[in-house]
Amino acid sequence: MTLRLFDTYMRRVRDFVPLHPPEVGLYTCGPTVYGYAHLGDLRTYIFEDLLRRVLMFNGFRVRHVMNITDVGHLESDADTGEDKMEKGSRRTGKSAWEMAEYYTQAFKEDLSGLNILEPTIWCSATEHIPEQISMIRGIEAQGFTYHTTDGIYYDTSRLPTYGYLARLDIDGLQPGTRVDIGEKRHATDFALWKSSPPTGKRQMEWGSPWGVGFPGWHIECSARSTKYLGTFFDLHCGGEDHISVHHTNEIAQTEACYGTHLANFWLHGYFLQLNDTKMAKSAGDFLRLQSLLIRA
């Protein structure tokens, strides 16, 4: 039986044929570990687990890579606001490192409670800083970057196909925008490396060719997926909220550095709705799996 999957990139159902059968490379975006995963988060991981089990049932050997985001995920998709890890550190009274370890373990316990298979490879952002720096240098060498006072940015105008995954109307986003984009050249440009503030010291920061700072959220996934699965692999999954920004930017980075759109298939899970809006940690929707299991 032919396995058929809906590919967000092509916007249609396609026959799934592995690039290197019987091996299948699967990358799934994991949690940002500043709080517990809620049921809305876990719905996406259940969908990805079902996908993996179907692939295995069809005789494929799945190399499943899942990231742990433990640095660089700012409050706003526009690369503004505080790092969620630094903010969470103040909330919990733990260091950012302690908090990352605590919530990573809690997430793994939640997956176990749902009988979700562990990935073949767990990979945290903080353990792959050299890979991220190397990929930024590759993007820079191709002429896709520029510097601002707060970091190094990807110039989206250099990529004619930017936004294809989300079918973004780039021209419609630019003129007359009322959003303050600061030193960015275009509203869709995004940070590859953020500079640490000139005063004070962050808990998580590293030296780089561009000064002391930390990686942008999007480069973290591009660098880790290509490290473990290659520059063009079978399947990339995540939540629907990643389509317009995070996954769009992952593709842009990989096209600039390697000339591919990273994955042959892009699959997305849709939100669990709560009062007509998505369930979200940022809204305080901490309906954690284990507390519900205990009450049951």
Helix 84-92 / helix 96-113 crossing angle, nearest 10 deg: 90
**Could you give the CA distance from residue 39 to residue 285 in angstroms, rounded to a whole number?**
9
Residue 267 lies in a domain: yes
Which pLDDT does position 270 carry in this prediction? 87
Neighbouring CB atoms inside 10 A of 120's CB total 15
pTM above 0.85, yes or no: yes
Residue 156 φ/ψ, nearest 5 degrees: -70, -20
Element (H, E) at 94: none
Residue 179 lies in a domain: no
Neighbouring CB atoms inside 10 A of 22's CB total 11
Residue 238 lies in a domain: yes
Which pLDDT does position 203 carry in this prediction? 94
218 burial level (CB within 10 Å; 0-12, 13-18, 19+): buried
CATH of the domain at 25: 3.40.50.620
Residue 64 lies in a domain: yes
Neighbouring CB atoms inside 10 A of 172's CB total 9
Which pLDDT does position 117 carry in this prediction? 98
Structure tokens at 53: 């089990």
Residue 202 lies in a domain: no
C-alpha torsion 197→202→207→211, nearest 10: 0
Residue 5 lies in a domain: no
Task: Note down the domain range covering 123.
Answer: 19-142+218-295
Helix (H, G, I), strand (E, B) or coil at 239: strand
Which pLDDT does position 201 carry in this prediction? 84
Which pLDDT does position 175 carry in this prediction? 46
Which pLDDT does position 198 carry in this prediction? 85
Structure tokens at 276: 């007509």
Number of domains into which the chain is organized: 1
pLDDT tens for each residue of the chain, 296 residues long: 799 999 999 999 999 999 999 999 999 999 999 999 888 889 999 999 999 999 999 999 999 999 999 999 998 888 888 999 999 999 999 999 999 999 999 999 999 999 999 999 999 999 999 999 999 999 999 999 999 999 999 999 999 999 999 999 877 665 444 457 889 999 999 999 999 988 878 999 999 999 999 999 999 999 999 999 999 999 999 999 999 999 999 999 999 999 999 999 999 998 776 666 665 555 554 555 554 444 44
Residue 178 lies in a domain: no
Residue 11 lies in a domain: no
Q: What contacts 9, CB < 8 A, 6 or more positions away?
A: 164, 165, 261, 263, 265, 266
